[in-house]
């Protein structure tokens, strides 16, 4: 575009010139001024023989890189260190200590750490065997703590104002946590059930004493709940007899 016809033909002839990609050019005479009757033919394209691309070969040094090897060694050392710390922490956690502070025996336990202690309880009024050991095991310290809280629960029964069931249950729950055997833990559990039975039976007795139909229905509900806490033949027989009396009274009052 922008050239005359003769110049355009000359440029076309140059553009379609034939080349040998191996370096040997085929020189052809180019007619600068071809006649109008002569047709300009387009030579067929020559397929290139350019070799395909080959990626560079990877050269290996024959062993792991120094940095990767250092990371592996560091991770292995860290794992060993963590294992030592965790093992030492478990060992320290299994250690118990008894200390006298102002006439009160304190129970200390090792922290879950390589070193350090934490206070568990202050046991007032107990006596420990002499000579005092530097370190106690779980099997040695649990019976001491269990007996202390069980005695505290029994002491609440002798309070002048009457037993505080909330305090008794709190002491028994702590005692159960330090029961040295399954038998003692089961004994505490039955005692807790008996306390729930007594409370529900007492509520049923109060409701029965009011004597109205709604109160009698409440008494029957309390007795049904008390049955789930009955842990002895005596308690079960007491429930059966009391329920029969409440049912007869309820039926007679409803028939009026």
pLDDT in tens, 111-143: 777 677 788 888 887 777 677 788 888 888 899
The predicted model scores a pTM of 0.60
In whole angstroms, what is the distance from residue 241 CA to residue 253 CA? Answer: 19
User: Measured between alpha carbons, how far is 102 from 125 in angstroms, rounded to an integer?
Assistant: 11
3-state secondary structure of 67: helix
Q: Is the pLDDT of residue 50 over 60?
A: no
Beta strands in the chain (DSSP E): 96-101, 104-110, 117-123
Task: Give the SS3 label for residue 108.
Answer: strand
Range picked from 80-84, 119-123, 155-159 for highest mean pLDDT: 155-159
Contact (CB, 8 A) for 223 and 242: yes
pLDDT at 244 over 90: yes
**Weakest mean pLDDT among 35-39, 94-98, 134-138, 151-155:** 35-39
Which residues make beta-bridge pairs with 106?
99, 122
pLDDT grade for 172, boundaries at 50, 70 and 90 = very high
């Amino acid at each position: 575009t922008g050239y005359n016809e003769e110049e355009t033909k000359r440029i076309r002839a140059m553009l379609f010139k034939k080349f040998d990609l191996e370096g040997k050019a085929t020189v052809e005479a180019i007619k600068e001024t071809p006649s109008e009757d002569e047709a300009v033919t387009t030579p067929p394209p020559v397929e290139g023989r350019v070799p395909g691309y080959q990626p560079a070969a990877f050269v290996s040094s024959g062993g792991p890189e120094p940095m990767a090897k250092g990371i592996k060694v560091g991770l292995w050392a860290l794992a060993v260190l963590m294992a030592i710390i965790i093992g030492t922490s478990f060992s320290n956690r299994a250690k118990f200590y008894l200390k006298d502070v102002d006439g009160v025996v304190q129970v200390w336990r090792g922290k879950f750490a390589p070193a350090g202690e934490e206070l568990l309880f202050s046991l007032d009024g107990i006596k420990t065997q002499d000579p005092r050991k530097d370190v106690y095991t779980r099997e040695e310290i649990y019976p001491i703590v269990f007996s202390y809280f069980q005695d505290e629960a029994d002491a609440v029964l002798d309070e002048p104002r009457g037993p505080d069931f909330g305090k008794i249950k709190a002491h028994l729950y702590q005692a159960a946590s330090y029961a040295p055997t399954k038998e003692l833990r089961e004994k505490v559990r039955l005692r807790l059930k008996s306390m729930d039975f007594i409370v529900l039976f007492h509520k049923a007795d109060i409701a029965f004493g009011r004597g109205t139909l709604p109160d009698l229905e409440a008494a029957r509900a309390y007795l049904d709940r008390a049955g789930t806490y009955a842990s002895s033949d005596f308690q079960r027989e007491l429930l059966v007899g009391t329920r029969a009396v409440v049912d007869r009274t309820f039926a007679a009052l409803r028939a009026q």
